[in-house]
Structure 1
Amino acid sequence: MLWVALLTRSDPGTPPPDDDQLRGLSMYALQFSPRTAIVEDAVVVEVEASTRLFGGRRALRDRIVAEVPELGVGNVAWAPTSLAAVAFARAGRENGIRGPLTPLLDALPMDTLAAVRPHLTTLSQLGCKTLGDVRALPRGGISRRFDKQLLTALDQAYGLRPEVHEWVEAPQTFRARLELMSRVDTAPALLFGARRLLMQLCGWLAARHAGTTAFVLRWIHDAMRPRGSDAGGELTIRTAAPMRDVDHLCRLLVENLAKVQLQAPAGDLELEALDVHALQEHSKSLLPDVAQKGESLTLVLERIAARLGPEKVLRPVVVEDHRLEWQTRWQPAPQALPQKRARRNRFPQPSFILAKPLRLAMRGDKPMYQGVLQMLTGPHRVEGGWWHRVREGDDKESTAVVVRDYWVAQSPHCGVLWVFHEHLGRDQTAWYLHGAFA
């Protein structure tokens, strides 16, 4: 096995982490393996089965070492057992897998194993300084003179006895709180604490194979705030597609926080995921995908909309509507895109449509457009719109009901066209040009 231990305090004089800190760190670690547990003042993760998923041991190590300092982690260590990994982390030695475990553990100070600490005075009087000295004592004497936890912990650390853990489970919803190290007077300065919460959120999302399209950041003002100011404030961030990219979410947060002014100094932050959706895997290939370079259009639009305002950056969205002129609408770029459903339409659809259908001239009962049209396929009945209200001038509304028969027609000089004639209205013999095929 391969265990990694994340120790939140590197200095023995610093206070131990509270339950919220360890819980938040475990949410981040869940993205690497579901076999995540809290052991004493550290979070341990069994990553043997996950190394190939993250590009190998070296790539996984580099990623963890680069990210965890932002979560307050002081030391990171690797070892074949979880207690050994915690001991190496307390000793400030990262690599516990460079050679055989026994000599590496034997060289560590005694206080790196929590079960030894209650007996440090007695063991020091016996001349013990390292874990190897403690292990060299007669086992019978240790079992009679000290509690059984000491021998059990030694055996588990050295891999002589199986370890038992209570695995951390990802909750159904995400809501985390963080007390800032000092009071913050400006909204952009909230990003330092908010990024730590976002890293926990993205770890939780990865564990649930999901992404978020909306989350809210709340801040609580100091109790000594000015009279008339609110108890706190909040900021909601939305994305067009389910997302769990920390850097992109932080960029959106930066743009939005730049437009916020705090009424009073803030001392606490809270992050809550509002809309969570399962992420669908698009690639089913057995071969690895080539890494995409650059930023996708969706991410760029969301970042621009965060700076200019959501109503100033629009994107087209396909709507499930049989009426061709209403199959596309425009919505703010950060707004979540509707889920696409499979459509079965065997009748050809034009490449281009006119903003307003053009009434065609007639030769007898045949429509004309740069010559008499020859009907190729049809009719294709489109009927609906009784639910659609269209606002006209002077605040008047009308219903956009259509009952049409569409045809694919051939023009002698203009190619293949998309034409129809109405089944509603006064003149039901009129024909209209609505689109053309590329």
Structure 2
Amino acid sequence: MLWVALSLPCAPDETPPSSDALHALATWALQFTPCVAIVDEAVVLEVEASTRLFGGRRALHDRIAGQILDLGVDGIAWAPNSLAALACVRTKVLNGVRQPLPELLDALPMQVLSAVAPHHLTLAQLGCRTLGDVRRLPRGGISRRFGKDLLDALDQAYGLRPEAHRWIALPETFHARLELMARVETAPAMLSGARRLLVQLCGWLAARHAGTTAFTLRWTHDTVRPRDTCDGGELTIRTAQPMREAGHLYQLLDEHLAHIALQAPVSDLALEVTDVLPLQERSASLLPEARSESESLTRVLERIAARLGPQRVRQPVLREDHRLEWMQHWQPAPQPPSRQPLAPYELPQPTFVLPEPQRLAMRGHRPLYQGPLMLLTGPHRIEGGWWHRTEDDASTHHVERDYWVALSERAGVLWVFQQRLAGDDAAWYLHGWFA
């Protein structure tokens, strides 16, 4: 498993981040994975299943790290579970997956685990300074003296017990609010705070696989303002097509705010999206998507062959031959079939065929394959191929076989045959098996 922890800075008086700020960060993080939760003062993401989608761990890390600066995030850490990631982000350890988890956590201060906080003083008096010191205490004593919660938290942090989280649900609508650090007296100065709201909006749109053609920025004037001024103002930005690129939306907002004069200083900003439309995205898959519901498989295969090369995309074509080895051949998919489709064979045909028939052991006159075989139906006699000669024209591929559908207790239903007219060497062969 791979977890990411993101933390917001605390206030100067050590007040933890507000619930609204954490939920805004969690909503933005939903574009990377649906497994997002709030744990104490941080947001944690389970991203193991998303690494391949975003091009690997390094690419995913660079993408997250490149956007969190605009969101005010001051800490990011990676670890095998959420509590370990939270412990790492509290101690500014960026990568918690480079070394074994017990070795990493044992060296961290014990207060990085929230469950230690109620017992910090007692544990310190016992001589504990790190998580390793706490973990080395007798488990029975920890459970009796400090309760089960501390022991469970230790086990979860060290990966010995599964974790349970309440995942954040993606809101149906987007509305974000931001209280500015200081009063803003000019409209262009609002861009710094608006940029954070735009990044949150684009994260929400990415999680919904959508874009917006209209969003509204609202601002609230400070309470200390002239009596004849209104409470605030708003600005609606529209785009010609669905969009969710934060950079482009930021440039549009910058151009519009340059023409606005504020009646009073601004203390709060709010961003709301009004028009949301599905966004047609470029597929990252190797296989091209169908351009319409009615597009045939043939056209899709032609485009795949054009991308990979005609020799890399092949299709099976049936031949008028009852011998299993030569009943079909493979040809490049873009080419038209060399023969017309044949009527289905009345005889049962195996799902999987061996490249070469495998000779079976015998017990008396009974074939064996992972135990004795029970012959169900047969014989299905196949004879022919005298005309099929090799390149040196020295031998033919003439066959005379009696095929049977056989049952094995362990291997399932098999397709076996016996050579006809073989005399005393009437051996049995396995040629395929049924799914």
**So what's the TM-score if we normalise by structure 2?**
0.64
The unaligned stretches of length 5 or more in structure 2 are: 295-435
Q: In the alignment, what sits opposite 2:9? A: 9
| Change over 3 Å in CA distance of 1:278–1:185 after alignment to 2 | same
CA contact (8 A) 2:216 2:272 kept: yes
1:29-86 deviation line (CA, Å, top 9, x unaligned): 1111010110111000011111122221111112222221221211100000001000
Letter in 2 for 1:43: V
Letter in 2 for 1:219: W
1:85 aligns with 2:91: no
Partner SS for 1:273? strand
Q: CA deviation at 1:117?
A: 1.1
Partner SS for 1:151? helix
1:115 aligns with 2:115: yes
Q: Which has the larger radius of gyration?
A: 2
1:231 aligns with 2:231: yes
| Change over 3 Å in CA distance of 1:184–1:288 after alignment to 2 | farther
Q: Distance in 1 between matches of 2:234 and 2:36?
A: 32
1:248 aligns with 2:248: yes
1:128-162 deviation line (CA, Å, top 9, x unaligned): 00001000000100011112211111111111111
Q: Distance in 1 between matches of 2:132 and 2:283?
A: 51
Q: CA deviation at 1:281?
A: 3.2
Q: CA deviation at 1:280?
A: 2.1
CA contact (8 A) 2:10 2:16 kept: no
Letter in 1 for 2:23: R
Q: CA deviation at 1:17?
A: 0.3
Q: Distance in 2 between matches of 1:212 and 1:66?
A: 22
Q: Distance in 1 between matches of 2:286 and 2:134?
A: 50
Q: In the alignment, what sits opposite 2:200? A: 200
Letter in 1 for 2:191: L
Partner SS for 2:9? coil
Q: CA RMSD in A?
A: 1.9
Q: CA deviation at 1:12?
A: 9.2
Within 5 Å, give how 1:163-202 maps onto structure 2.
163-202=163-202
| Change over 3 Å in CA distance of 1:84–1:195 after alignment to 2 | same
Letter in 1 for 2:194: A
1:367-419 deviation line (CA, Å, top 9, x unaligned): xxxxxxxxxxxxxxxxxxxxxxxxxxxxxxxxxxxxxxxxxxxxxxxxxxxxx
CA contact (8 A) 1:10 1:90 kept: no
Q: Distance in 1 between matches of 2:157 and 2:146?
A: 17
Q: CA deviation at 1:278?
A: 1.1
Q: CA deviation at 1:244?
A: 0.9
Q: Distance in 1 between matches of 2:137 and 2:147?
A: 14
User: Which deviates more from structure 2 when the two are superposed, residues 277-286 or residues 181-190?
Assistant: 277-286
Partner SS for 2:127? coil
| Change over 3 Å in CA distance of 1:163–1:134 after alignment to 2 | same
Q: In the alignment, what sits opposite 1:295? A: none
CA contact (8 A) 2:215 2:271 kept: yes
Letter in 1 for 2:209: H
Q: Distance in 2 between matches of 1:66 and 1:107?
A: 29
CA contact (8 A) 1:210 1:279 kept: yes
Q: CA deviation at 1:10?
A: 7.0
Q: In the alignment, what sits opposite 2:138? A: 138
Q: In the alignment, what sits opposite 1:434? A: none
Q: Distance in 2 between matches of 1:119 and 1:23?
A: 29
Within 5 Å, give how 1:260-339 maps onto structure 2.
260-283=260-283, 286=286
CA contact (8 A) 1:24 1:200 kept: yes
Q: Distance in 2 between matches of 1:220 and 1:58?
A: 41
Partner SS for 1:177? strand
| Change over 3 Å in CA distance of 1:5–1:283 after alignment to 2 | closer
| Change over 3 Å in CA distance of 1:217–1:101 after alignment to 2 | same
1:258 aligns with 2:280: no
Q: Distance in 2 between matches of 1:135 and 1:98?
A: 21
Q: In the alignment, what sits opposite 2:43? A: 43
CA contact (8 A) 2:179 2:268 kept: yes
Partner SS for 2:190? helix
Partner SS for 1:145? helix
Q: Distance in 2 between matches of 1:90 and 1:157?
A: 14
Q: Distance in 2 between matches of 1:6 and 1:224?
A: 36
CA contact (8 A) 1:202 1:245 kept: yes
Letter in 1 for 2:279: L
Q: Distance in 2 between matches of 1:74 and 1:87?
A: 15
Q: In the alignment, what sits opposite 1:70? A: 70
CA contact (8 A) 2:10 2:17 kept: no
Question: How many residues were matched structurally?
Answer: 290
CA contact (8 A) 2:178 2:193 kept: yes
Partner SS for 1:214? strand
Q: CA deviation at 1:118?
A: 1.2
The unaligned stretches of length 5 or more in structure 1 are: 290-341, 343-438
Q: In the alignment, what sits opposite 2:323? A: none
Within 5 Å, give how 1:100-111 maps onto structure 2.
100-111=100-111
